[in-house]
Amino acid sequence: MPHVIVKLYAGRSDEQKQRIADEVTKALMTATGCSESSVSVGVEDVEPSAWTATVYEPDIVAKAGTILKKPGYAPA
């Protein structure tokens, strides 16, 4: 039962968010062999000024051992 939460800078359209969810669903189905009905995808808007405190530090730095694709940036 894969569940993915995608956090993005705020400003994407509903159509863009739906496309992200659709593409993530397809990728999970391909990679895991699960059915579409097993996948759930959430998309959360994050204000750029809040990114470091609400995403980078708790989800990337604090969970470094679980990050398989590391970002190519560090907050200023």
Catalytic annotation, residues: 2
Q: Of all helices (H) and strands (E), which one includes residue 46? A: strand 40-46
CA distance 8 to 65: 21
In sequence order, the 6+-apart residues with CB closer than 8 A to the CB of 74 are none
Helix (H, G, I), strand (E, B) or coil at 26: helix
